[in-house]
Amino acid sequence: MRIATWNINSVRLRIGLVTRFLETWRPDVLCLQETKCPPGQFPTSALLQAGYGHIADNGYTGHHGVAIISRIPIAESHVQSFCGRNDGRHVSVRLDGSGLVVHSLYVPAGGDEPDPATNGKFAHKLQFIDELKAWAGGLGCSGTGHHVLSGDFNIAPLESDVWSHKQLLKVVSHTPVETGKLNDLMASCGFHDPVRAHHPEPEKLYSWWSYRARDWEAADRGRRLDHIWVSQDISHLCRNVAIVREARGWSRPSDHVPVILDIDECGG
DNA sequence: ATGGTAGACTTTCTA
């Protein structure tokens, strides 16, 4: 079973890149974030042609928006709301026959100023992580399935997840309050990070490079903002991971690249 | 010392 996550930054504009990725890498399930696609306007026909006929969409007008597209039939889907908003930041699916529940999550970016007292977006981000922790803590013991929690978490939790730990300590996405909350969430909710298990620190790993760099590849000032976590009960089934860096060099790219996890089937 | 880019119900917002 191959599961991927990708912040696509407009699924309608980049549907050609999505199908290129699907045809090259053949994931069974692809989680998307920042689809920027209102409900009912998801580009389903191109995906159907590529063999992905099962779609769970939680779109939102203008920005945000998440979706899951699958080759495997979807038994049921669910949308979780956080911070009292329904702004397209989560959707999950239970896959037919596998007992797997796959989540596509889009954590608020948090604005520029890392101070919740003066920046409401940063306060929202911190509250979102707190609510995520309370909710995710119930997943492991709910008996509803084995969970894959993936998406754009907008936090690079480890020193080797950014191009310069020192220079990013006061930059939203790598401040101690954010990295502390995310590392605590993973540990206390019983989740495991197979990407880091396969590529331990101090290897640098990035999944995002700013559009604002003159030459993203030469500067290589990236951050690992996109993650695929699994619940501990299936951590031993993780086989392989990949970060598709080459996708950042495609024509009119997203600023994020796909992250891939291969996991053995875990039955019903 | 502070831009820089990209996308969307664009004249501004979010990232």
What are the residue boundaries of the structural domains of chain A, listed by start?
2-263
CB-based burial, A177-196: b 16+ in 10 Å, e otherwise: ebbebbeebbeebbbbbbbb
Which DSSP state fits A261?
E
Q: How far is the CA of A190 from the C1' of B14 (A)?
A: 32
The residue whose CA lies nearest the C1' of nucleotide B4 is A212
Neighbours of A141 (CB within 10 A): 10
Q: Supply the pLDDT for residue A98.
A: 84
Question: Which H helix or E strand runs over A24?
Answer: helix A15-25
A102 touches A148 (CB < 8 A) = yes
3-class DSSP state of A238: strand
Q: Supply the pLDDT for residue A268.
A: 55
Q: Supply the pLDDT for residue A139.
A: 81
The residue whose CA lies nearest the C1' of nucleotide B3 is A212
Q: Supply the pLDDT for residue A204.
A: 98
- Residue holding tokens 């590392």? A183
Residues touching nucleic chain B (CB < 7 Å): A 9-10, 12-13, 34, 36, 38, 61-64, 108-111, 121, 154, 211-212, 252
Q: Give nearest nucleotide to A38 (CA–C1').
A: B9
CA angle, A244 as apex, A243 and A247 as ends, to 5°?
A: 145
Strand ranges (E), chain A? 2-7, 29-33, 54-58, 66-70, 74-78, 90-95, 100-106, 146-152, 191-192, 208-209, 222-223, 226-231, 238-243, 259-263
Query: Strands A222-223, A208-209: parallel, antiparallel or unpaired by DSSP?
Result: antiparallel
Residues of chain A predicted below pLDDT 50: none
Q: How far apart are CA A212 and CA A60, in angstroms?
A: 26
Tokens (6 digits) for A106? 């889009």
pTM over 0.75: yes
A156 touches A179 (CB < 8 A) = yes
Q: How far apart are CA A43 and CA A256, in angstroms?
A: 20
Tokens (6 digits) for A127? 């509250």
Please report the sign of the dihedral spanned by the C-alpha atoms of residue A172, residue A134, residue A161, residue A244. Answer: negative
Q: How far apart are CA A194 and CA A177, in angstroms?
A: 23
Q: How far is the CA of A230 from the C1' of B10 (A)?
A: 40
Question: What is the homologous superfamily of the domain A2-263 according to CATH?
Answer: Endonuclease/exonuclease/phosphatase (3.60.10.10)
Q: How far apart are CA A89 and CA A93, in angstroms?
A: 14
Q: How far is the CA of A237 from the C1' of B8 (A)?
A: 40
Q: Supply the pLDDT for residue A259.
A: 98
Tokens (6 digits) for A55? 């779609």
